[in-house]
C-alpha cells in the first residue's frame, strides 16, 4: 500500500523550528486547507512542565477568545446582526461584570462594528450582544454546529472539545466572550477557523 501524507514538509519544519525558539510548557500549531480539510502542518512542542497530553489534540485548555467565532455566527444567523452596525462599549477590562452588560453613555466610549470587535477581541461587544439576543437554546445549537461535545473524526487520537452553556446570565455572557465554560483543542480551533473561511462548511480533517 502507498500512503500519501497531507503535510507540507517545508511548512512543518519551519513551524517546528519556530515553536522550539520559545521556552513554554506546551505549544502547538495546526494548519488546515479550508476547502479540503487537508492538514498542511501539525506541530507539537512539549516539555516536562506541560499541563496536558499531546498538545495539538488535547482539549484541556480554555477555548478563550476563539469562542467568539461561535458567538459571532449565532448573532449573525439567529439575531440578524448587521456586521457593519456600530455598538459602543466600555474600553477593555479584565473580568466582565453585570455593569458591562448595561449601556452607559459615560463609559461606552469604544464604538466598533463586528469586524473591529473580532479583530480587537473586544469582550464587552460580544457579551453585551449575546446577553441581549441569544438564549441558552441558541448557544447550544451553535455549539453543535461548531462540533463541540462530539468526537472529531480524525486518523490520530484526539480529545473532543466540550462546552456547557451556563444558566446564569452573567456567566453565559462571559462564555460568549470566551471566559470559561468551554475547552478547545488546537486541532478543533483550526477546524473552526477553516469552516469560517470555507463559507461555513467544516471539512473532515485528514
Burial label for 194, CB within 10 Å (0-12, 13-18, 19+), is buried
pTM of the predicted model as reported, rounded to 2 decimal places: 0.90
pLDDT tens readout for residues 151-180: 999 988 888 899 999 999 999 999 999 988
Contact 122, 136 (CB under 8 A): no
How large is the average pLDDT for residues 23-46? 92
pLDDT tens readout for residues 112-151: 999 999 999 999 999 999 999 999 999 999 999 999 999 9
How large is the average pLDDT for residues 50-57? 76
The 10 Å Cβ neighbour count of residue 150 is 12
Q: Which cell numbers in the block locate residue 36?
A: 479540503
Amino acid at each position: 500500500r502507498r500512503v500519501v501524507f497531507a503535510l507540507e514538509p517545508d511548512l512543518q519544519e519551519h513551524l517546528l523550528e519556530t515553536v522550539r525558539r520559545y521556552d513554554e510548557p506546551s505549544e502547538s500549531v495546526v494548519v488546515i486547507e479550508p476547502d479540503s480539510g487537508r492538514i498542511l502542518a501539525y506541530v507539537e512542542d512539549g516539555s516536562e512542565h506541560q499541563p496536558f497530553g499531546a498538545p495539538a489534540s488535547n482539549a484541556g485548555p480554555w477555548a478563550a477568545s476563539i469562542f467568539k467565532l461561535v458567538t459571532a455566527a449565532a448573532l449573525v444567523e439567529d439575531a440578524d446582526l448587521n456586521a457593519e452596525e456600530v455598538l459602543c462599549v466600555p474600553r477593555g477590562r479584565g473580568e466582565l461584570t453585570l455593569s458591562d452588560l448595561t449601556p452607559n453613555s459615560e463609559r461606552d466610549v469604544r464604538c466598533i462594528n463586528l469586524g473591529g470587535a473580532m479583530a480587537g477581541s473586544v469582550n464587552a461587544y460580544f457579551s453585551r450582544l449575546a446577553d441581549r439576543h441569544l438564549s441558552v437554546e441558541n448557544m447550544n445549537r451553535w455549539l453543535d454546529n461548531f462540533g463541540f461535545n462530539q468526537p472529531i473524526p480524525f486518523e490520530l487520537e484526539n480529545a473532543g472539545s466540550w462546552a456547557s452553556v451556563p444558566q446564569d446570565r452573567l456567566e453565559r455572557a462571559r462564555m460568549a466572550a470566551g471566559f470559561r465554560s468551554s475547552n478547545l483543542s488546537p486541532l478543533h480551533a483550526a477546524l473552526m477557523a477553516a469552516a469560517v473561511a470555507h463559507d461555513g462548511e467544516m471539512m473532515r480533517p485528514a
